[in-house]
Amino acid sequence: MRESAALAGATPVAAAPVTATAVAATAAGPYAVPQELVSLLARRAVAGPRAGSFLSHTPMTGAELARLPLSTQADVEAAVAQARVAQRGWARWSIERRARVFLRLHDLVLHRQVQLLDLIQLESGKARLHAFEEVADVALVARHYARASAAYLRPTRTTGAFPVLTRAETVLHPHGVVGIVSPWNYPLTLPLGDSIPALMAGNAVVLRPDPATSLTALFGAQLLAEAGLPEGVLQVVLGPGATIGQAVLELADDLCYTGSTEVGRRVAVTAAQRLVPVSLELGGKNTAYVRADADLRRSVPGVLRAAFSSGGQLCIHAERLVLHESIADDFLARFVPAVAAMRIGPALEFGWDMGSLLNQRQLDRVRSHVDDAVAKGARVLVGGRARPDLGPFFHEPTVLDGVTAEMACRDEETFGPVLSVYRVSSDEEAVALANDTAYGLNASIWTRDIPAGRSLARLIHAGTVNVNEGYAAAWGTTGAPMGGMGQSGLGRRHGAEGIRKYTESQTIAAQHVVPFAPFWGLDDRGFAAVVTGAFRVFKRMGLS
């Protein structure tokens, strides 16, 4: 029997808790969301009384999932205005008081995880274990920033120009309203994971989730309200990126975008024209390198997870598998059967290895990359086919051999369950291949010699590199920064950088006893001589 709980039965009041009664066992069928829940969550969206609406669909069957209100430009303007008002009161809360909201969110996310898992799967199509990664991630991020923000944001003192006589302090101020435009592939992690540090820093947030996965984001907003976030501090607007997302980017004081490199460039232009800060996490062409000394019992299942988690619709998943030639045949002899044995299907329960792609566009891109590679001489070692018998957008996990530079999948991001195999004769050759891309988001190295793996990691041009793990070790270390180099983006999430990016620094310097000018009867020449002598003393003292 499936373990999914119901999401219906909630009283449609602003921050009333959502109660559990079944999502999948409704009269609408096994892949449906109760209308009571849709109505409750729709109230979390900013939309006028005459707002239009749009339909979302579940990738599992292609059937209608929910009808939600469609925000307008005027709604975005209203959301930003309301957020500005609410932010002023929120910024006056102490960090400790804000932290209590996110510690409650941590507990709510874990307590309501079955409901969240259902929504994430129904909207994104991913397997339940991969949906759980999102639940775990949001809990980690909420707890981390609740505990660490006081240290990250506290005022700092700096040695002044004249020690003792000049006392300088740097304080951090919230920017105001942070505009977050998030994609569909991680419908809980990205909307909430980026909102949490922005809110903890004292900002308000206007969030535009992808239309395909708006229900999950709205459920997250509902949980934040239940956790005690004041009304108006988080505003959610719904609609296409080209209109509603762009409106958010044109009005907010600080911008956060996750998505394709192509769109990220346009977001950067908008930020540059407005002279507002922006952080971008964009595409990737990530490498998993299996060294000659790797433990194949560990690396085979590890690379499988690295390549096919969330159906490959994960910016930090592996699309290139680089094998040292001495172990390549042995690795593939184990890996190919493991891929062939993966359980794929539309199941709202644990025990399945991969779910569906999001939509026809994603399926078409995967098909075009596979077909192009095969037409130009690549071999399909396993997979290679769409699976309409399972659902409209399913595609088998696929491993290609013999991929060359003429093939699209060699350098372009596939963003699907397609892994290309390459053989190398040395670590140096592996590093060169890993760096032979415009992207620089993530990589993994599989080896028994962890110090050697760490040394190699420093040579790879990527924001995160994992040793003996595909992506979760770096991503899950929420105290360390995560982000891209090259065409993979700007800025970082997680750690100190992940919250300080949502602030503006201000230096306050006070001068004591004497001015920073001629004093006590010194003329200009005498003042210059005194300062010169003082600077020489400061150097000998080791002062910065």
Q: Which amino acid is at 462?
A: A
Distance CA 64, CA 70 (A): 16
281 is catalytic: yes
SS3 353: coil
Distance CA 410, CA 421 (A): 10
Cα of 263 vs its chain's centroid, Å: 16
Cα of 186 vs its chain's centroid, Å: 7
CA distances from 144 to 141, 165, 498 (A): 5, 38, 11
Where in 111-249 does DSSP place strands (E)?
156-159, 166-174, 177-181, 204-208, 234-236
With CA atoms as reference, report the closest residue to 203 among 88, 102, 77. 88
With CA atoms as reference, report the closest residue to 3 among 177, 179, 102, 132. 132
Beta strands 234-236 and 418-424 are unpaired
Distance CA 115, CA 223 (A): 12
- Who contacts 327 (Cβ-Cβ below 8 Å, separation ≥6)? 290, 292, 294, 296
Q: How many CB atoms lie within 10 A of CB 35?
A: 13
Query: Per the residue annotation, which of 226, 315, 396, 409 is the catalytic one?
Result: 315
- Who contacts 412 (Cβ-Cβ below 8 Å, separation ≥6)? 285, 369
Tokens 């096919």 sit at which residue?
308
Query: Per the residue annotation, which of 123, 281, 319, 413 is the catalytic one?
Result: 281
User: Sheet containing 156-159: which strands, arranged edge to edge?
Assistant: 156-159, 166-174, 503-511
315 is catalytic: yes
Return the active site residues. 281, 315
